[in-house]
């Protein structure tokens, strides 16, 4: 508990001292920023370049186990570049070196171990330290603009001609791969994609693996298409909504919600979905018969209680 309190205090001070120094296109783990702003800025940048008559492209990269394998020396080096003193760097270094982990399964605890790489998982300081340790990738090349959120990033590239844009794509990808190698992180080739706007980029080659250009890619949960349409994204979201609605219709006919006030009297019951000639197997009118006496005695004004009931017939469902 004391350790978490100290982490929160250090995190607050570290954020106040370094947040304004972070790149404007870094959106992960920062106040008042999110995936929506990252996607908006990314798409606006591409559209502006296309409006100027340039050919644009995206290289979307993803790091595998980024928090666990980031080089700690890079974190300390970037802290020094941001103006951190000896006491701060020593504290952060000791914090990362002495952080221990273990696994608990069925109340059985494994032996504790320490890593010599990475900023750790589950710590309050892990996200800000990861942001600080990865600042250099945003300035690694001048040929592109990197929009990043945690371990996800997309380079935006543009040029007046297709040949020049293809050349920049090759150079940016080579620079990005070099940065991943130097930082100790592994580039996930399977999730690395390239997409052009106004043209089809050339194939990228890496370790005998060819990355073919695509017409759409997913970045931060949104399906981006090379024609700026949202057809694919809307279709995916609609499919998920339909699936969720179908699950509710299927399972909801077995549920009833009872609202109970703090005076332990039944206030109202309402079936989520009603079947033809269906009746609840029992209706509780005396709260003393409720199975969850501890929950019923809560001082909360309205408490939902869910009970299963068996309909007499299930020809079809009627939505309420």
pLDDT at 220: 92
Distance CA 143, CA 157 (A): 7
Q: What is the pTM of this model?
A: 0.74
Weakest-pLDDT range from 38-52, 141-155, 227-241, 277-291: 277-291
Structure tokens at 299: 């001082």
Is the separation of the CB atoms in 73 and 176 below 8 Å?
A: no
pLDDT band for position 23 (cuts 50, 70, 90): very high
Measured at the CA of 243, the angle between CA 241 and CA 245, to 5 degrees, comes to 70
| Statement: residue 267 has pLDDT above 50 | no
pLDDT at 306: 44
Average pLDDT over residues 303-313: 43
pLDDT at 287: 43
Residue 152 phi/psi, 5° resolution? Answer: -105, 135
Gap between the terminal Cα atoms of the chain: 47
Is the separation of the CB atoms in 315 and 276 below 8 Å?
A: yes
Average pLDDT over residues 245-259: 71
């Amino acid at each position: 508990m004391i350790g978490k309190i100290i982490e929160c205090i250090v995190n607050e001070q570290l954020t106040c001292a370094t947040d304004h120094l972070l790149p404007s296109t870094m959106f992960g783990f920062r106040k008042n920023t999110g995936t929506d702003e990252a996607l908006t800025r990314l798409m606006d940048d591409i559209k502006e370049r296309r409006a100027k008559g340039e050919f644009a492209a995206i290289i979307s990269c993803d790091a595998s186990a980024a928090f666990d394998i980031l080089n700690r020396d890079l974190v300390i080096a970037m802290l020094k570049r941001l103006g951190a003193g000896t006491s701060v760097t020593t504290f952060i270094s000791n914090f990362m070196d002495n952080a221990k982990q273990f696994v608990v399964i069925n109340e059985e605890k494994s032996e504790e171990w320490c890593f010599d790489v990475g900023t750790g998982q589950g710590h309050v300081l892990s996200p800000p330290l990861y942001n600080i340790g990865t600042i250099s990738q945003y300035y690694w090349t001048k040929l592109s603009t990197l929009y990043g959120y945690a371990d996800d990033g997309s380079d935006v590239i543009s040029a007046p001609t297709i040949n020049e844009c293809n050349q920049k794509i090759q150079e940016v990808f080579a620079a990005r791969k070099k940065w991943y190698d130097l930082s100790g992180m592994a580039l996930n080739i399977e999730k690395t994609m390239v997409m052009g706007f106004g043209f089809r980029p050339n194939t990228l080659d890496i370790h005998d693996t060819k990355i073919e250009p695509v017409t759409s890619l997913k970045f931060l949960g949104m399906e981006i298409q090379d024609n700026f349409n949202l057809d694919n994204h809307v279709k995916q979201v609609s499919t998920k909504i339909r699936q969720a609605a179908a699950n509710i219709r299927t399972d909801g006919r077995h549920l009833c919600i009872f609202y109970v006030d703090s005076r332990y009297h039944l206030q109202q019951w309402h079936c989520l979905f009603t079947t033809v000639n269906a009746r609840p197997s029992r209706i509780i009118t005396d709260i003393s018969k409720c199975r969850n006496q501890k929950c019923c005695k809560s001082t909360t004004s309205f408490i939902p209680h869910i009970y299963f009931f068996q309909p007499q017939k299930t020809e079809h469902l009627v939505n309420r």
